[in-house]
Amino acid sequence: MATEWENMRYWSFKGRYSPRPEQVHIIDEIVDAMDMGFKNIILEAGTGIGKSAIAVTIANMALDSYICTMTNQLQSQYLDDFANKLTEIKGRSNYACNYKGYCDDCQMEEDNEYKCEDCPYTWALRRALNSKNIITNYDYLFYAGAYAGLFKPRQLLILDETHNFEKKIMNLVSSELNRKTIIRKYGFDIFESVKKGATLKSINNYSYWVNILEKLITSIKSKFPRNQKESKRNARAIIRYELLINQLTNDKWVIDLPTKKEIIADKDYTAGLKVEFKPIMIKEYTDTLLNFGETRLFLTGTLGNKEKFCNWIGIDPKETYYIYQKSPFPVEHRPILKEYVKSMSGFNPNRSPKWKDNRVLDKISEIIRKHPYEKGVIHTSSTQQAWWIKKALNSKNIWVAQGASREETINRFEKSRKPVVLVGAGIKDGVDFKGDKCRYQILFKMPFPSLASAQINIRKHYDKVWYAYQTIMPLMQAYGRGIRDMDDHCIMYVLDSDFDRLVRDYRYLFNEYFLEAIKGAAKPRPVPRPVKANGGK
């Protein structure tokens, strides 16, 4: 068993910053768990603990390692701090070709010539394969490692942001057929029978879609490829469709379809309609990634419940060591205030959603008036809700973050010195609103997953705790966006009274850091004066 500070010769910030006592303790505990033979180690540590520094320190101790992040952006954050200790590899499309375009669209290969000898992607891949610690993302390791066979297992696999692990695996193993793409490439409509009057139920079965997939395979095989690149692309498509046929014979998969009304209305095929094939549960598929590490270290700021998490992703709780370290930020700096208007879920007798209520708008306006010189964030559970708030309040200081413009809008919000309000459904995770970037947050509606999805509907039927967990994780993630260090402060206001039911029925899925911050109704708050221009916001 390692003694205190003994492992610090591997410290990731060596020569720059000294580790804090809690970091030393966590590192020692992880090493002890590995020495005891645990194959899975979960670290749930809040903002301010320094999980990435801990992760790289543990990677330095291993013979070799992978560190997996959810996005390329998170990879870059690791590299900003640890570029000399990590080697990055991403998908081909992230590397500019020295001749034309990007490396996933090589012109030399298209012209049946040899591959570029100075291909940036190939060189990056070689460097990664010969390095000790590889930093990559889940998608790349899943496809390039498991299916292309480019990578072998290593001693350590570090999985960051694992509160999203199940959702990520679901996205990776699921498949879809896009209506417009199939028409353009293969000349037939996958929803043709519905257009001619068939019911949606008649195509919501495996045999119908197996026939469609076999038709696609036959069509691909009948066409002679124009070049080597197209030949490879066709081969990959055939493998994908054959795999999907095998999966659809498994009754643990579901089919997600658009409505018949949407299919009929999409006369010019511009609605982006598609059919999706998803497993009900993902635990049968997680080994595709997990097998890349003899030992797996899971990192998250919000886990919820160890036993449930392990069961849902298919690992043995008895072989899993769990460490919890609460964020050090003072609870008085981060209150959660109940400003309930009503239950926001469900529909009114006239079939309008309950959240469409002028009293909700009045409450939002009231809260914004309490913070006349500060920036805030409103967390909705859909983009439709975000735009309803924007249009109903009719304010130029309310900005909606969505779609392709999401990152640009968030960047503008962070840099703005005006008391603007950012509203959206996709700002609960992966953003950092430190300091004056955000001084208050409004939780508009509980982020219950949509039951319009067949997969979510069936899964909820069998496991109501899982459904609650999928609501609570983004809720706790949203809470953590506004306070990022010891001197920071940010208030969260909750408008949806369904919050009480969640906390009452599933208290064991919330962590201590979140629960201790919940207060009663908000008390009147003095309005702060604007800061002078010499450094004010």
The pLDDT tens digits for 392-427 are 999 999 999 998 899 899 999 999 999 999 999 989
Please check whether residue 535 lies inside any domain of the structure: no
The rounded distance, in Å, linking the Cα atoms of 282 and 369 is: 45
The rounded distance, in Å, linking the Cα atoms of 199 and 373 is: 56
The rounded distance, in Å, linking the Cα atoms of 161 and 298 is: 8
Domain shared by 111 and 181, yes or no: no
Work out the mean pLDDT of the chain and round it to a whole number. Answer: 90
Look at residue 113 and tell me whether its pLDDT is greater than 80.
no
pLDDT the model gives residue 127: 95
Please check whether residue 1 lies inside any domain of the structure: no
Domain shared by 104 and 191, yes or no: no
Task: Give the bridge partners for 289, in sequence order.
Answer: none
66 band by pLDDT with thresholds 50, 70 and 90: very high
**Amino acid type, 165:** F
The rounded distance, in Å, linking the Cα atoms of 179 and 186 is: 11
Three-state SS at 70: coil
The rounded distance, in Å, linking the Cα atoms of 227 and 504 is: 62
Please check whether residue 530 lies inside any domain of the structure: no
The rounded distance, in Å, linking the Cα atoms of 470 and 281 is: 13
289 band by pLDDT with thresholds 50, 70 and 90: very high
Please check whether residue 407 lies inside any domain of the structure: yes
Whole-number percent of the chain with pLDDT over 70: 91
Domain shared by 296 and 151, yes or no: yes
Question: What is the CATH number for 339?
Answer: 3.40.50.300
Q: Are 277 and 175 in contact (CB under 8 A)?
A: yes
Query: Taken in order 462, 467, 470, 476, is the CA torsion positive or negative?
Result: negative
pLDDT the model gives residue 535: 38
Query: Which residue is associated with the tokens 């911050």?
Result: 517
Count of C-beta atoms within a 10 Å radius of residue 85: 20
> Strands 274-279 and 175-178: what pairing?
antiparallel
> Strands 253-256 and 376-379: what pairing?
unpaired
pLDDT the model gives residue 509: 95
234 band by pLDDT with thresholds 50, 70 and 90: confident
Please check whether residue 497 lies inside any domain of the structure: yes
pLDDT the model gives residue 529: 47
Per this entry, what is the length of the chain? 537
Please check whether residue 72 lies inside any domain of the structure: yes
Look at residue 204 and tell me whether its pLDDT is greater than 80.
yes
6 band by pLDDT with thresholds 50, 70 and 90: low
What Cα–Cα distance (Å) separates residue 273 from each residue in 206, 269, 451?
Answer: 19, 8, 18
The rounded distance, in Å, linking the Cα atoms of 524 and 304 is: 32
Look at residue 512 and tell me whether its pLDDT is greater than 90.
yes
Look at residue 116 and tell me whether its pLDDT is greater than 80.
no
* Predicted TM-score of the model (pTM): 0.88
Domain shared by 36 and 123, yes or no: yes
Name the more confident of 211 and 404.
211
264 band by pLDDT with thresholds 50, 70 and 90: very high
The rounded distance, in Å, linking the Cα atoms of 31 and 24 is: 11
Domain shared by 210 and 289, yes or no: no
The total domain count for the chain is: 3
Domain shared by 430 and 406, yes or no: yes
Calculate mean pLDDT across residues 38-60.
Answer: 95
Please check whether residue 528 lies inside any domain of the structure: no
Tell me the pLDDT tens digit for each residue of 341-388.
999 999 999 899 999 999 999 999 999 999 999 999 999 999 999 999
Calculate mean pLDDT across residues 5-14.
Answer: 78
What Cα–Cα distance (Å) separates residue 435 from each residue in 109, 409, 439, 481?
Answer: 50, 18, 7, 11
Using CA atoms of 285, 290, 291, 295 in order, give the dihedral in degrees to the nearest 10: -150
Look at residue 23 and tell me whether its pLDDT is greater than 50.
yes
103 band by pLDDT with thresholds 50, 70 and 90: low
432 band by pLDDT with thresholds 50, 70 and 90: confident
Look at residue 144 and tell me whether its pLDDT is greater than 50.
yes
Domain shared by 335 and 474, yes or no: yes
Look at residue 491 and tell me whether its pLDDT is greater than 50.
yes
444 band by pLDDT with thresholds 50, 70 and 90: very high
Please check whether residue 134 lies inside any domain of the structure: yes
Range scoring the smallest mean pLDDT among 18-22, 59-63, 415-419: 18-22
**Amino acid type, 408:** E
Query: Which residue is associated with the tokens 């981060």?
Result: 334
Domain shared by 31 and 144, yes or no: yes
Per the structure block, which two tokens stand in for 412? 């503008």
Range scoring the smallest mean pLDDT among 32-41, 99-108, 217-226, 440-449: 99-108
Look at residue 219 and tell me whether its pLDDT is greater than 70.
yes
Look at residue 8 and tell me whether its pLDDT is greater than 90.
no
pLDDT the model gives residue 224: 62
The full DSSP string for 176-220 is EEEHHHHHHHHS--TTHHHHTT--SGGGSSHHHHHHHHHHHHHHH
Domain shared by 103 and 240, yes or no: no
Phi and psi based region of residue 373 (left: phi greater than 0; alpha: psi -120 to 50; beta: remaining): alpha
530 band by pLDDT with thresholds 50, 70 and 90: very low
Domain shared by 214 and 270, yes or no: yes
Domain shared by 341 and 473, yes or no: yes
Domain shared by 475 and 338, yes or no: yes
pLDDT the model gives residue 527: 46
Q: Could you tell me which residues come within 8 angstroms of residue 193 by beta carbon, excluding any fewer than 6 positions away?
A: 202, 203
54 band by pLDDT with thresholds 50, 70 and 90: very high
Tell me the pLDDT tens digit for each residue of 159-185.
999 999 999 999 999 999 999 999 999
335 band by pLDDT with thresholds 50, 70 and 90: very high
Domain extent for 231: 175-279
pLDDT the model gives residue 163: 94
Count of C-beta atoms within a 10 Å radius of residue 505: 12
The full DSSP string for 211-270 is HHHHHHHHHHHHSPPSSHHHHHHHHHHHHHHHHHHHHHTSTTEEEE---HHHHHH-TTS-
The rounded distance, in Å, linking the Cα atoms of 374 and 530 is: 9
Count of C-beta atoms within a 10 Å radius of residue 319: 12
